[in-house]
Amino acid sequence: MLKRPDHGWVRASGTLRLGDVSVAVTFCEQTLRQREILVVEDTARDFHFAGDAQVIGEPRTRFFAGVSFASTDRLTEGILCVTDRVPRALTSEQEEALVLLAHQLTARIDQREERQRLDQVSQERETSATNLRASEELFRTFMNASPFLSYIKDAAGRLLFYNRSYARRFGISEYAWLGRTDEQLWSRSMKVPMRMQDLDVMAGGRTVEAEERLRASDGTVTVWKTYKFPCFDSAGNLLLAGLAMDITEEQERKQELERYQEEMQTANEQLRRLSVTDELTGLRNRRAFEERLVLEFSMSRRRHRELAVLLIDVDNFKQINDRWGHGAGDTVLRRLGAVLRTTIRLPDLVARYGGEEFVVLLPESGSEAALGFSRRLMDRMATETWDHEPVTVSIGLAALNDSLLNGFQLVSMADEALYAAKRAGKNRAVVYGGSKQ
């Protein structure tokens, strides 16, 4: 009979039913506790078992011999025993045979458990290999479907993997460059900085983003955004992974946008200048003068400062045009503009008011200062060398007073003074409501 502590399996018997039977705990406990063969020749005379249910009741066990066994890892444990309904004794050979059978049983159990363990390991390895193959297939499917160029190198710079986008970019098969190094694939101008960057990435342990420009054999240049980062294989070997995307079109659009913005900025600047600049003389135009006039008039009122305006008109300008042509007249206006620009002070403003008229705004200047400017201007005009004939100007000037409501009244006053200068014989300056110079 083969027993475990709570059940027994009868494998050979002349009187007991074969199969699983209930076993008294007492026999098992004693055998396991003894750890060597236990022989009870007459259970009815042994104080350990005389009152056991299997002795005084069915199956009326009167003889018991058993030996414990256990697998090496002790996951399986039990006893091997023989019983009888009548008392009997075992010879030493029979006891040795029972112990030997227990040892053989232990060996068979160990073999069975080892086989089960190996079967489990094999199954786990097969499952792991299947999962690994599925994972690799999924990885390749994903990477090959990606629009980005991707690759993996070992620490020596050899290509271990690249996807279809990479292969298409360089016109190669999916396996042609595997195992090749940077030294074998790229020109010196590319491989040296590329290798240095790869080593920096692996040493630094961080992702590096960069832009790279590649020149093809036909001379075309493409721009790539690259991401390089270190990684490790299953054995712990350091690798370099890279992703790259073609941003040539994006760069071209960006450059085109920048050019457009620069052109727009230039155009806007030109429009701004044109909106306040007289094209012929390069001086400020009437619009710019009037904007500045409003500002200076307001500030002079608030701060109780002086302000003067001069209106200047070229004498006999129509005759110059009629006699020498409009080109000569334009030259006179440009020359006069240059004289005015070099005669005014830094805070002053000179502008072409229209036709052959010019206007000068003199902040913090009264009638006396305005007359002083007029004298300097007329002296410059007298010493200037003109192309065809001497050129003179008439000047009307007006200074701020408490009765004025706005700066345009100041201009009107200067205009009246200008007409007075014309009527008085030209080539002179007249102060509104005052003296002539």
| Digit-coded pLDDT (tens) for 276-319 | 888 899 999 999 999 999 999 999 999 899 999 999 999 999 99
A 10 A CB-CB count for 184 gives 12
pLDDT at 436 over 60: no
> How confident is residue 22, by pLDDT bands cut at 50, 70 and 90?
low
> How confident is residue 14, by pLDDT bands cut at 50, 70 and 90?
low
CATH superfamily of the domain spanning 277-431: Reverse transcriptase/Diguanylate cyclase domain (3.30.70.270)
Domain residue spans of the chain:
2-117, 146-250, 277-431
**CA-CA distance, 251 to 173, in Å (whole number)?**
29
**CA-CA distance, 403 to 244, in Å (whole number)?**
76
Q: What percentage of the chain has pLDDT greater than the value 90?
A: 41
- Single-letter residue type at 181: T
State which fold the 146-250 domain adopts. Answer: Beta-Lactamase (3.30.450)
- Among 29-38, 164-173, 332-341, the minimum mean pLDDT is found in 29-38
Whether 146-250 and 2-117 are alike in CATH topology: the answer is yes
Q: What is the mean pLDDT of residues 18-36?
A: 67
pLDDT at 433: 82
pLDDT at 430 over 80: yes
Rounded to the nearest angstrom, the gap between the alpha carbon of residue 161 and the centroid of all alpha carbons in its chain is 25
Q: Residue 325 — left, alpha, or beta (φ > 0 → left; ψ -120 to 50 → alpha)?
A: left
Q: Are the CB atoms for 185 and 277 separated by under 8 Å?
A: no
**CA-CA distance, 132 to 137, in Å (whole number)?**
8
In the three-class reduction of DSSP (H, G, I as helix; E, B as strand; rest coil), residue 9 is classed as strand
Class of domain 2-117: alpha beta
**CA-CA distance, 105 to 368, in Å (whole number)?**
134
pLDDT at 19 over 70: no
pLDDT at 1 over 70: no
> How confident is residue 7, by pLDDT bands cut at 50, 70 and 90?
low
| pLDDT per residue as tens digits for the range 217-276 | 677 888 888 899 999 988 899 999 999 888 888 888 888 878 867 876 765 566 566 578
- Single-letter residue type at 368: E
What is the DSSP track for 124-184? HHHHHHHHHHHHHHHHHHHHHH-SSEEEEEETTS-EEEE-HHHHHHHT--SSTTTT--HHH
Q: What percentage of the chain has pLDDT greater than the value 70?
A: 89
